[in-house]
Amino acid sequence: MSTVEPGAALVERYRLIRPATSDLAMTTAWEAVDEILGRPVRVTFVGGPYAADGLDSARRAALVSDPRLARVLDVGTDPAYVVTEQFAGVTLTQIVAGGLVDGQQARALVGEAASALSAAHRRGVHHTALRPECVRVDGHRVVVTGLGLDAGLASGETLNGLPALLDARGLVALLYYAMTARWPGIELEGTRWVAKDVSPPLPAQRDDAGAIVALSALVPHVDPALDDLVNRTFDASWGASGPATPDDVITALAPWGEVSVVASLPGFVQPNPEDPQRHSVAQAFGSEGVPPVRRPVTGRIARNPGTDAQPVADGSGQPGGYPQGYPQEGYQYQPEQYPPTSGHAPVPPPPAEPQQYPGYPPAQQYPQGYDPNAYAQGYPQGYDQAGYAQAGYDQAGYDPNAYAQGYQDPNGFQTQPAPKRGVNPTPIVLSLVGVAVIAGLFWAISNALGGPESPVGEAPPAASAPADPSAAASAPATEGSAPPAVTVRPIIASGERVDPLGDQAKPDAERQHPEAAPRAYDADPSTFWFTQSYKRADFGGLQAGVGYVIHLQEAAPVNKIQLLTNSTGGHVQVRLTSADDPSGGQVLAEGAFATTTDLVFTEQVVSDTFVLWITELPESPSDNDLKFRLELNEIALT
């Protein structure tokens, strides 16, 4: 890949869309699309002296599958990149910027994050770089990002203790930060692995002895259990009595309710669907801007506090037809003044705050009592208002309420109130005409293709009976009585591993883990069938290959076999054969292993048995010398 720009394709699969934000130094993140699976992903290009450590940690993290973790989907080295699920929701940093989180929601948020890290710890993977930017809330779901990659890029800078203990302290630090906006966790300011242009959270306050100020000293009416958890975690003995693993944090926080922390935040914090791209046409009209057009009020419900737009004061507003802030050269507008009227005037409702959207001008504002919808009934939108008096004409003696009954022009012309709109029959008539035309065309085409009809009253000719009675008996059924065609789906009935050399040498050894074979089709991506581990990809030079036999419930048409694995590299073939001869038969497809491996046939094949023949093992994320083995999570046939 020569250039990194929008539209470029990484390894002919991941199409880059737009840059994404990241708080990691020496990385560049992109929103992208997996063009093979048609799903959005996040691509992070990794650089710097610790890129290899980051990639290695990301490979280990690919073993972990949990809905509360941003899963690692692919790792590559040329260029160095990591592909993960697309980040969704808002970060804890954004949430706290909109308001502190109460104890109940903080308990639920951190409890979900602890459950995610507990699943990772069971696979021997640790985060060790927890911070507010790597915890996100997407609706009622908590997602932890950066598992594997972040720790690798930190490369030991955060490992001042045991990894499990670091994660436990990081979880409690997130709890403290959510409720106080102060960070008591790992150092984030001035470190080489955090981007310089990122503002780190404020550090936690400390007392005269250097201890972190208790949660109860900053948050009124705090749950004593949460206060005790924080005190035990950050005491001087470095967590001697505090939680040592994420499971300990789960025990301390359980039970918790549903996460709904974002629902109570201001609108500007809550995640919204991305606004459509709109192109301004202002430049098409030169320096004078867009011609004035009066718009009706849109009636949007959302109201975001803290926007730059100001509410309309009583008796004030912009001239009709000009949006707020529109340059009006040589024009001075004065608010309309009306004399007080007798009687009891209705009290107007308080002005609503207009909503401000980034990148768009403020919403148009109108004077009190003005109905913008009446404009469209009197004049066409966008008419030239030059020469019309807006606010300078004499209004003395006029009652504003009288305008509703018509206005008497001094020249003797009587204006009438704008008529109320009725039902416009034009769309209805056009729809009926369109239906009639389509029906006529259909009738004409049917007659043209069907041939002439039989004359009225003429019976159709009787079908001649076959001369041979046996031929009549064997004649096919009529079209109306034929049963509908049934498509057979390829459903896996069972799977088994095949190890020809191992079974011959040691029949009772049960090599290549036959007991785990059902895990490759149990619809659970977190489980897998795996081979033995070797020092070399060619099975240590001991044998030619290992097979996995797929048995279907019945013979079915198959076009593609998809494999989900925790490994990359190696080589696999799909053969049309059986367990008796796993390396024989026709090779239907072949290729290297990836996290998602698509083995597409050149033509559709109908069979009830297929064999995956592994001739070269992929590299597995392992720290020992025996680093070559296959971990097959799921098999899918289509």
Give the pLDDT confidence of 104-133 residue by residue, as tens digits: 999 999 999 999 999 999 988 999 999 999
Q: What is the CATH number of the domain that holds 520?
A: 2.60.120.260
Torsion sign over Cα 57, 62, 65, 70: positive
How far is Cα 190 from Cα 407, in angstroms, rounded to an integer? 72
End-to-end CA distance of the chain: 31
pLDDT greater at residue 461 or residue 262: 262
19 and 127 share a domain? no
Q: What are phi and psi of 498, to 5 degrees?
A: -125, 125
Return all residues near 379 (Cβ < 8 A) that are at least 6 apart. Answer: none
Mean pLDDT, range 434-454, rounded to an integer = 68
Span 268-286, pLDDT tens digits: 445 554 444 444 434 433 4
In the beta sheet, which residues pair with residue 81?
Answer: 45, 76
Specify the pLDDT at position 487.
65
Any domain includes 528: yes
How far is Cα 112 from Cα 600, in angstroms, rounded to an integer? 39
Could you give the count of Cα atoms lying within 13 Å of 304 in the half-sphere of its Cβ? 17
42 and 118 share a domain? no
Mean pLDDT, range 321-332, rounded to an integer = 42
Specify the pLDDT at position 489.
85
Any domain includes 397: no
Specify the pLDDT at position 485.
52
- The per-type count for the chain, helices as H runs and strands as E runs, is 11, 18
147 and 44 share a domain? no
Specify the pLDDT at position 107.
96
Specify the pLDDT at position 621.
64
Torsion sign over Cα 454, 458, 461, 462: positive
- Exposure letters 424-452 (e unless 16+ CB within 10 A, then b): eeeeeeeeeeeeeeeeeeeeeeeeeeeee
- Residue linked to tokens 């990002």: 145
Residue 16 contacts residue 5 (beta carbons within 8 Å): yes
Q: Mean pLDDT highest for which of 13-17, 156-160, 393-397?
A: 13-17
Tokens of 512: 């290549």
Any domain includes 1: no
Residue 82 contacts residue 29 (beta carbons within 8 Å): no
Mean pLDDT, range 413-424, rounded to an integer = 50
Specify the pLDDT at position 432.
82
Query: How many CB atoms sit inside 10 A of residue 365's CB?
Result: 21
Residue 191 three-state SS: coil
Any domain includes 364: no
Candidates 194, 193, 177; CA nearest to 185 is 177
> Looking at 232-241, 571-580, 584-593, which range is the least confident one?
232-241
Specify the pLDDT at position 237.
54
Percent of the chain with pLDDT over 70: 63
- Indicate whether 66 pLDDT > 70: yes
Mean pLDDT, range 136-152, rounded to an integer = 93
170 and 26 share a domain? no
- Indicate whether 290 pLDDT > 80: no
- Indicate whether 211 pLDDT > 80: yes
pLDDT band at 197 (very low <50, low <70, confident <90, very high): confident
Return all residues near 78 (Cβ < 8 A) that are at least 6 apart. Answer: none
- Indicate whether 287 pLDDT > 60: no
How far is Cα 70 from Cα 134, in angstroms, rounded to an integer? 10
Specify the pLDDT at position 127.
93
Q: Mean pLDDT for the chain? A: 74
Any domain includes 452: no
> Looking at 89-103, 160-174, 485-499, which range is the least confident one?
485-499
Mean pLDDT, range 237-256, rounded to an integer = 84
Candidates 22, 35, 150; CA nearest to 87 is 22
- Exposure letters 522-543 (e unless 16+ CB within 10 A, then b): eeeeebbbbbbbbeebbbeeeb
Specify the pLDDT at position 223.
94
255 and 154 share a domain? yes
Any domain includes 160: yes
| Residues of the chain by 3-state class (helix, strand, coil), percent to 5 | 25, 20, 55
* Total-model pTM: 0.47
How far is Cα 576 from Cα 608, in angstroms, rounded to an integer? 10
pLDDT greater at residue 403 or residue 612: 612
Mean pLDDT, range 83-105, rounded to an integer = 94
Specify the pLDDT at position 277.
44
Specify the pLDDT at position 625.
61
Long-range contacts of 525-529 (CB under 8 A, 24+ apart): 525/65, 525/564, 525/633, 525/634, 526/64, 526/65, 526/66, 526/119, 526/633, 527/633, 528/565, 528/566, 528/631, 528/632, 528/633, 529/495, 529/497, 529/631, 529/632
How far is Cα 187 from Cα 158, in angstroms, rounded to an integer? 8
Any domain includes 414: no
> Looking at 43-52, 258-267, 349-358, which range is the least confident one?
349-358
227 and 257 share a domain? yes
| Domain final position from 85, 119, 142 | 85
- Indicate whether 460 pLDDT > 80: no
How far is Cα 231 from Cα 587, in angstroms, rounded to an integer? 64
Specify the pLDDT at position 488.
81
| Domain final position from 33, 57, 85 | 85
Mean pLDDT, range 53-76, rounded to an integer = 91
123 and 243 share a domain? yes
Mean pLDDT, range 585-603, rounded to an integer = 92
pLDDT greater at residue 338 or residue 65: 65
Return all residues near 478 (Cβ < 8 A) that are at least 6 apart. Answer: none
pLDDT greater at residue 388 or residue 151: 151
121 and 57 share a domain? no
- Indicate whether 443 pLDDT > 90: no
Specify the pLDDT at position 2.
54
pLDDT band at 635 (very low <50, low <70, confident <90, very high): very high
| Domain final position from 62, 85, 108 | 85
How far is Cα 198 from Cα 220, in angstroms, rounded to an integer? 31
Q: Mean pLDDT highest for which of 143-152, 160-169, 502-511?
A: 143-152
Residue 595 contacts residue 500 (beta carbons within 8 Å): no
Q: What is the CATH number of the domain that holds 26?
A: 3.30.200.20
Specify the pLDDT at position 225.
94
- DSSP secondary-structure letter at 463? P
134 and 61 share a domain? no
Q: What is the CATH number of the domain that holds 217?
A: 1.10.510.10
107 and 241 share a domain? yes
Domain count within the chain:
3
148 and 81 share a domain? no
Query: How many CB atoms sit inside 10 A of residue 310's CB?
Result: 12
Mean pLDDT, range 610-624, rounded to an integer = 81
pLDDT greater at residue 125 or residue 302: 125
Span 468-480, pLDDT tens digits: 444 444 444 444 4
Span 385-408, pLDDT tens digits: 444 344 444 444 444 444 444 444
pLDDT band at 218 (very low <50, low <70, confident <90, very high): very high
Give the domain range for residue 521. Answer: 492-637
Specify the pLDDT at position 379.
38
> Looking at 255-269, 383-397, 503-517, which range is the least confident one?
383-397
Mean pLDDT, range 66-82, rounded to an integer = 93
pLDDT band at 264 (very low <50, low <70, confident <90, very high): low
Any domain includes 400: no
30 and 159 share a domain? no
- Indicate whether 313 pLDDT > 80: no
pLDDT band at 576 (very low <50, low <70, confident <90, very high): very high
For the purposes of burial, counting CB atoms within 10 Å of the CB of 163, is it exposed (0-12), middle (13-18) or buried (19 or more)? middle
Which DSSP string do the residues of 65-110 spell out, in sequence order? --TTB--EEEEEETTEEEEEEPP-SEEHHHHHHH-PPPHHHHHHHH
- Indicate whether 447 pLDDT > 80: no
pLDDT band at 157 (very low <50, low <70, confident <90, very high): low
Q: What are phi and psi of 422, to 5 degrees?
A: -100, -165
Specify the pLDDT at position 346.
42
Tokens of 278: 């709109």
Mean pLDDT, range 542-549, rounded to an integer = 90
